[in-house]
Structure 1
Amino acid sequence: MKSIVIQQPGKLVIEQRALPVPAAGEVRVRVSYAGICGSDVHIYHGHNPFAKYPRVIGHEFFGHIDSVGEGVEASRIGERVVVDPVVSCGHCYPCSIGRPNVCTELQVIGVHRDGGFSDYACVPAVNAYVVPPTISDELASMVEPFTIAANITAFLKPQPQDTALIYGAGPMGLTVIQVLKGVYGVQKVIVADRIDERLAMAKQSGADWTINNQHQSVADILAVDDIRPTIVVDAACHPAILQEAILLASPAARIGMMGFSGEASSVTQQSITSKEISLFSSRLNSHRFPQVIEWMKQGKIAPEKLATHWMPATEVEAAMHLFEKDPRACCKVLLKFPLDG
């Protein structure tokens, strides 16, 4: 088989590898589609502190189970599955309270261990979720990005009467918009971004109002109608956003942080406690795959609105360049496998 391997930062190769054999409790997935994420690009550039090299990247992938390890029912062979990249120990404190995404021994498929940008990938059987026939092969790998939105919104507990402000209309922001509108029925969703084309995508995903904050202050625009968001989500992941979000938010608002920047954010305790604002951070997902699969099955979310490009996996470098450098036209790039023929 062939695999896409980051041998070291800046060096990507398509490498011939031996066909993996599933260990006890594992299944082998013959990969059909895999999505490119910002974290894949970060590993390529050497900007992910958790990745070790060489690494087969890819944590958003779909395929068919073609082999099972000891302890896994042979009846699973042939299942259409998407893979939860969160691999946890099951016994530490976070795992014991249903938060395996921050397990003390966390491994993320495609980051800490080899991922799905490969003709075949072995994964824990419990991480392979069956995809119903109503979800197409071409869109099934989009389940994983929506689990990120499912995780942060589970903390925020949106209500229809909320006014939500989302910073960033990239893939994370767009999935949050769809979940707020399609699942929770939030009546007013405002989105701020600096790219008009991304704001147009936000509108297509259900945003009620968009703001280009390249030349306009979000604070000034909201002040005109005295709008105080009750939910704010930072999906742009810039350290300066947190303090602005705190200042703009309504008393008793909830703020969700999705960024992973190592830079300091300047905030004051008074600005938080004076309004009793609740701050939530969210990493990956905690068993959200069944929930998102059901949402997709019921048509509550529309992944096709985010998938802008399908490319052969052999063109992965061009695909990653497109994803990184052309945010005006590109949102999600889905790679078509196999690499080997």
Structure 2
Amino acid sequence: MKALVLHKPGEIKLEEVADPAPDKGWVRIKVKRVGICGTDKAFYKGTYVPPKLPLIPGHEIAGIVDEAPGMEHLEGMKVTTEINVNCEKCWYCKHGMPTHCPYRETIGITIDGGMAEYVLTKPHLLHSIEGLSWGEGAFVEPLAAVVEMLEMQPLKPSDRVAILGIGTIGLLSAQLIRLITPNVVAIAREDSPKRKIAEKFVDVITVKEAREYAKSKTPEGQGFDYVVEATGSPNALNLALELVRPRGVIAAKSTHGAQVSFDYTLMVVKEVRIIGSRCGPFEKAIDLIRSGMIKVKPLITSTFKLDDGVEAFKKSFNRKEIKVQLTP
């Protein structure tokens, strides 16, 4: 099969590799669409070194089950897959935390992923995406990660929210948060080429305007109740700390892989909670897309054939791009 293989930072190649063959207890998906995620880009840049190299990246996957030994009833299903292949036996798996299974493998991160014609997964990780387009199906994984953010730290309808960044996670967050509270703004550079798309979903302001907003429109001018850090930059946490109110929440969503320096004392003095979150509930994400409550098609800014995957990776770093997807 054809696959994009990452050999080292900055070196990804389209190669012919052996078709993966599912052992008993595994299934194979014929990939129809796969997204390039911020984590994939961090692997490519070298700021986040994957545990396995060479590696076929890609974990935002939509496709068709084409081989399922002993589970032939699954064959032909239009699916997406969760990415954490957990053991189902350990303490974490038995206590409702399978994404933290210490024995897990992670598709596209520790084992080969979906930037290929085929990818292997476990049947209990499959979710039907009937009624969704392939592009929408490949958006389930990142949207589920945003749903998880609000499951771990729920919002109140009265909360004032600032979202740092108007990339994929920022704009998914904006749409989901607006279902709960109207008091939400996104913060981006004045010259951001993504502003026109972002403004379809949320009011977009600059950092200077955000500081003015916090002073004039939050209680005692002390800041936002909830700040989502989704810039993909290691420098943004200090801005989040500045903008959040005392005893407020920072939802950390960037997976850039870099070490971060921030004002630890300010965090302590303000008694700020910093909440990390990642992989979340797929069925809730599917329902949100299927119902039209969350719109992901406008966020797909470029689609490339797998054959042009090297070009797609380079294009994904263009400031105009929100989500670049590949079609094997």
TM-score (ref. length: structure 2): 0.90
Note if 1:322 corresponds to 2:315.
yes
Letter in 2 for 1:327: R
For the 8 Å contact 1:199–1:212, the answer to whether it is kept is: no
Match runs of 1:141-290 below 5 Å = 141-182=138-179, 185-194=180-189, 195-204=191-200, 206-207=201-202, 209-213=203-207, 216=208, 218-226=210-218, 228-260=223-255, 261-269=257-265, 271-272=266-267, 275-282=270-277, 284-286=278-280, 288-290=281-283
Q: CA deviation at 1:290?
A: 1.0
Q: CA deviation at 1:293?
A: 0.6
Q: CA deviation at 1:301?
A: 0.4
Note if 1:101 corresponds to 2:133.
no
CA distance in 1 between partners of 2:112 and 2:308 (Å): 20
For the 8 Å contact 1:165–1:233, the answer to whether it is kept is: yes
Q: CA deviation at 1:239?
A: 4.0
CA distance in 1 between partners of 2:7 and 2:304 (Å): 22
* Aligned CA distance change for structure 1 residues 262 and 97 (closer, same or farther; 3 Å): farther
**Structure 2 unaligned runs (5+)?**
none
* Aligned CA distance change for structure 1 residues 96 and 302 (closer, same or farther; 3 Å): same
Q: CA deviation at 1:29?
A: 0.6
For the 8 Å contact 1:316–1:335, the answer to whether it is kept is: yes
Letter in 2 for 1:171: T
Instruction: Classify the secondary structure of the residue corresponding to 2:109.
Output: coil
Instruction: Classify the secondary structure of the residue corresponding to 2:315.
Output: helix
Letter in 1 for 2:54: P
For the 8 Å contact 1:191–1:199, the answer to whether it is kept is: no
Instruction: Classify the secondary structure of the residue corresponding to 1:230.
Output: strand
CA distance in 2 between partners of 1:242 and 1:43 (Å): 21
| CA deviation vs aligned residue, 1:37-67 (integer Å, no higher than 9, x gap) | 1222222333322332111111111111111
For the 8 Å contact 1:171–1:332, the answer to whether it is kept is: yes
1:78 maps to 76
Letter in 2 for 1:332: K
* Aligned CA distance change for structure 1 residues 221 and 230 (closer, same or farther; 3 Å): closer
Structure 2 residue corresponding to 1:303, chosen from 292, 296, 307: 296
1:65 maps to 65
CA distance in 2 between partners of 1:79 and 1:45 (Å): 35
Q: CA deviation at 1:273?
A: 5.2
CA distance in 2 between partners of 1:17 and 1:289 (Å): 30
Structure 2 residue corresponding to 1:292, chosen from 285, 297, 306: 285
For the 8 Å contact 1:62–1:81, the answer to whether it is kept is: yes
Letter in 1 for 2:151: A
Q: Percent identity?
A: 25
CA distance in 2 between partners of 1:212 and 1:97 (Å): 43
* Aligned CA distance change for structure 1 residues 36 and 237 (closer, same or farther; 3 Å): closer
Q: CA deviation at 1:275?
A: 4.7
For the 8 Å contact 1:295–1:301, the answer to whether it is kept is: yes
Q: CA deviation at 1:180?
A: 0.9
For the 8 Å contact 1:156–1:231, the answer to whether it is kept is: no
**Structure 1 unaligned runs (5+)?**
none
For the 8 Å contact 2:301–2:323, the answer to whether it is kept is: yes
CA distance in 2 between partners of 1:166 and 1:97 (Å): 32
For the 8 Å contact 1:169–1:236, the answer to whether it is kept is: yes
* Aligned CA distance change for structure 1 residues 5 and 132 (closer, same or farther; 3 Å): same
Instruction: Classify the secondary structure of the residue corresponding to 2:199.
Output: helix
